[in-house]
Amino acid sequence: MLRFRYNLKAPANILSQLNYQPKLMNTDFYAFGELLWDCLPSGRHGGGAPFNVAAHLAQLGVSASLISAVGQDALGDELLSLASTKNVDITCVSYARPELPTGTVIATVDGNGNATYEIVQPVAWDEIQVPDQVLKDLANAQAFAFGSLACRSSYNLRQLDRLLAVQGSIKFFDVNLRPPFVDPNLIIQLAKRADVIKLNDSEIGLLTSWLQMGEEKAVLPKGAKAISEACEIFAEATNVSRICVTLAEEGAAFWERGMPLIMASAPHVVVKDTVGAGDAFMAGLMLGLTQGTDTRTVLETACRLGAFVASHNGAIPSLPPEFGEKFKFS
């Protein structure tokens, strides 16, 4: 029987079915935010950016713990079971109050594999509980990832504030602007508390437009010079020193204060859907940067991981064992 040190109110039969053994104090990576079902044309897939990131980190051979919540329903039980099969530590996932169901997203994919989302609200992950013990464990972790979508809830913002106050781990902020949950001012305030920011070219274009002109108008920065200038504008407003900009099929760019911009191309793949590709990229980025790997190598490896996921249906396809070896940094 699993003994939950935190506040997971799971029925005994679910615990027995999962037969789950958490890593607890040995967890190296934590992710805070949404855990949900992506309802895609190809079927229902477990998702939520923080969960996807944690699942890919686990596949890459490190311990990863998710801080989230599910509903007291069958969909929530299924998500816990899925997370356990992906070796994600679910000790910090709680059951929400009965009125809040497990999160779902209706995702529509166009002919190019790009997705748009209808995100249900309110749901279980709008009220994520963070017990005090998590704060103690986080201080010993290598990295902590959080995103912008879970911050649509004032409850979560209060919990995230407690987590961000913990010193020790590298803080990675994954910007995911999903209409209608777009608040540039909130993004700027959260970015000020991060060590590394990851966002796509459309998102940094929108945010720099807002910073310069006070309007949310996405102007894609094209080419190294434009990307560098956009990063400098964003860094000046937030004081962040490292910014990673993903460029879809063109790869990614990494800006670091006082250093030349680094760019990496993405391998060509036949895209099934792009859901979770950015999250896989984030996992590679976090793993590489925390291990002090050469930044260009980190960026190239993260691009390959993102491309692999884009070539499969769903956000967390299983990596073949030999593929996982390619993403072990040294």
Structure tokens at 324: 């996982």
Confidence band of 13 (pLDDT split at 50, 70, 90):
very low
Segment 38-56 shows an average pLDDT of 89
When the candidates are 3.30.530.20, 3.40.190.290, 3.40.50.720, 3.40.1190.20, the CATH number that belongs to 24-317 is 3.40.1190.20
* pLDDT score for 278: 94
Name 224's bridge partners.
none
Instruction: Tell me the C-alpha distance between 24 and 45, whole Å.
Output: 26
- 199 near 254, Cβ under 8 Å? no
The model's pLDDT over 180-239, given as tens digits with 9 standing for 90+, comes to 888 999 999 999 999 999 999 999 999 999 999 988 777 889 999 999 999 999 999 999
Map the chain to HEC letters: CCCCCCCCCCCHHHHHHHCCCCCHHHCCEEEECCCEEEEECCEEEEECHHHHHHHHHHHCCCCEEEEEEECCCHHHHHHHHHHHHCCCECCCEEECCCCCCCEEEEEEECCCCCEEEEECCCCHHHCCCCCHHHHHHHCCCCEEEEECHHHHCHHHHHHHHHHHCCCCCEEEEECCCECCECCHHHHHHHHCCCCEEEEEHHHHHHHHHHHHHCCCCCCCCCHHHHHHHHHHHHHHHHCCCEEEEECHHHCEEEEECCCCCEEECCCCCCCCCCCCHHHHHHHHHHHHHHCCCCHHHHHHHHHHHHHHHHCCCCCCCCCCHHHHHHCCCC
The model's pLDDT over 128-185, given as tens digits with 9 standing for 90+, comes to 999 899 999 999 999 999 999 999 999 999 999 999 999 999 999 999 998 888 899 9
Q: For residue 266, which phi and psi values (nearest 5 degrees)?
A: -100, 140
Structure tokens at 25: 């104090």
Lowest mean pLDDT across 84-93, 193-202, 319-328: 319-328
Half-sphere exposure (Cβ direction) of 86: Cα atoms closer than 13 Å? 29
- pTM, two decimals, is 0.89
For residues 175-204, one letter each, b for 16 or more C-beta atoms within 10 angstroms of the residue's C-beta and e for the rest, the string is bbbbeebbebeebeebbebbebbbbbbbbb
